[in-house]
């Protein structure tokens, strides 16, 4: 057996997982799952109220900061602010937005820049900062949030969103190759998951969500907790031989 094969895989109890967009929805569920598994979480978000609710739920198991992950300088500064005890061992690039619904003939350059920055550039900024500051860990891993929209093209008017999620999938595969064997990199591709972002997709039209749900083989939207279960698995030693994967969590859609 080689030295690498013999290396023990640490459990989540000594993991410090940086979760971007961790104040709501899927990100918050991932924070909850990490803490329940005995780990600690760094939570970055622009939503001050959501951050404070998360702090109240998890106390000393989390450290939180108001960070706009679309801003490279803010990401670098927030990473530099972490004390050595909070140097991250794992990263979840989760923050994302749908952006304004636009036809291709109406694409607004400022909105293109905003959605690319929040959904795609943030993954590059977060990954770079993580690699510079991370505490080496035998199970080091990154999970990125793509979407099945990367393959389906998304809902009408959401071409820009779908494009960013396709790029996140490509980046995941490239990063998995570049960072092996020290860091595993995988992505999740959720389908319709019941979180606040769905109000931006369907304009708060719950009837439309129910209609879409009928076309999903498992006949319902997924929950944030179900996506978090998959994220926790990809972060954990149980997925030690999994890298460069984009995993659908979409009820068979
Ligand atoms: N819910 C779904 O159906 C679904 C499907 C596919 C993919 N996803 C992806 O999952 C991820 C999480 O989405 P969600 O459903 O939990 O949505 P959500 O809106 O509940 O959560 C997104 C979080 O990201 C934060 N955020 C937004 N812009 C930010 C910025 N610039 N800097 C820091 N934080 C920022 C928000 O404040 C929010 O807390 C997103 O990347 C989304 O594209 C969601």
Contacts of 69 (CB under 8 A, 6+ apart): 20, 21, 44, 75, 95, 118, 122, 125, 126
Q: Are 32 and 55 in contact (CB under 8 A)?
A: no
Q: How confident is the model over 66-100, as pLDDT tens digits?
A: 999 999 999 999 999 999 999 999 999 999 999 99
Distance of alpha carbon 110 from alpha carbon 11, whole angstroms? 43
Determine which one of 44, 125, 130, 161 is catalytic: 161
Phi, psi torsion values for 186, nearest 5 degrees: -135, 165
Distance of alpha carbon 227 from alpha carbon 193, whole angstroms? 8
Q: How confident is the model at residue 201 (pLDDT cuts 50, 70, 90)?
A: confident
Residue nearest to atom 33 of ligand 1 (CA): 45
Superfamily in which the 12-196+224-246 domain is placed by CATH: NAD(P)-binding Rossmann-like Domain (3.40.50.720)
| Residue among 19, 22, 27 whose CB has most ligand 1 atoms within 8 A, to mutate | 27
**Cβ(45) to ligand 1 under 6 A?**
yes
Q: What is the DSSP string of 138-180?
A: TT-EEEEE--THHHH--STT-HHHHHHHHHHHHHHHHHHHHHT
Q: Residue 114: is its pLDDT beyond 90? A: yes
Q: Residue 214: is its pLDDT beyond 80? A: yes
Looking at ligand 1, which atom is closest to the CA of residue 27? 16
Q: Residue 182: is its pLDDT beyond 70? A: yes
**Cβ(164) to ligand 1 under 6 A?**
no
* Mean pLDDT (the chain, rounded): 95
Annotation says 241 is catalytic:
no
Distance of alpha carbon 8 from alpha carbon 1, whole angstroms? 13
Question: By 3-state DSSP, what share of the chain in percent is helix, strand and coil, each rounded to 5?
Answer: 50, 15, 35
Q: How many CB atoms lie within 10 A of CB 200?
A: 15
| Residue among 195, 204, 231 whose CB has most ligand 1 atoms within 8 A, to mutate | 195
């Amino acid at each position: 057996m080689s030295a690498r094969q013999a290396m023990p895989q640490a459990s989540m109890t000594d993991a410090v997982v940086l979760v971007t967009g961790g104040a709501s929805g899927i990100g918050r569920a991932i924070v909850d799952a990490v803490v329940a598994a005995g780990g600690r979480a760094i939570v970055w978000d622009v939503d001050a109220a959501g951050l404070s609710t998360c702090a109240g739920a998890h106390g000393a198991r989390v450290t939180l900061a108001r960070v706009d992950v679309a801003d490279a300088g803010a990401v670098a500064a927030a990473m530099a602010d972490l004390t050595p005890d909070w140097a991250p061992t794992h990263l979840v690039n989760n923050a994302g937005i749908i952006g304004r619904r636009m036809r291709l003939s109406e694409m607004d350059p400022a909105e293109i820049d905003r959605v690319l920055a929040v959904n795609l550039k943030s993954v590059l900024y977060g990954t770079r900062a993580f690699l510079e500051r991370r505490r080496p860990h035998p199970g080091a891993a990154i999970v990125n949030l793509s979407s099945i929209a990367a393959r389906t093209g998304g809902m009408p008017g959401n071409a820009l969103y779908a494009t960013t999620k396709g790029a996140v999938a490509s980046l995941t595969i490239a990063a998995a190759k570049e960072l092996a064997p020290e860091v595993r990199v995988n992505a999740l591709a959720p389908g319709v998951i019941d979180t606040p972002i769905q109000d931006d997709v369907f304009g708060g039209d719950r009837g439309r969500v129910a209609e879409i749900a009928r076309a999903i083989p498992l006949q319902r939207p997924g929950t944030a907790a179900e996506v978090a279960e998959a994220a926790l698995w990809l972060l954990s030693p149980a997925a030690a031989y999994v890298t460069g994967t984009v995993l659908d969590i979409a009820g068979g859609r």
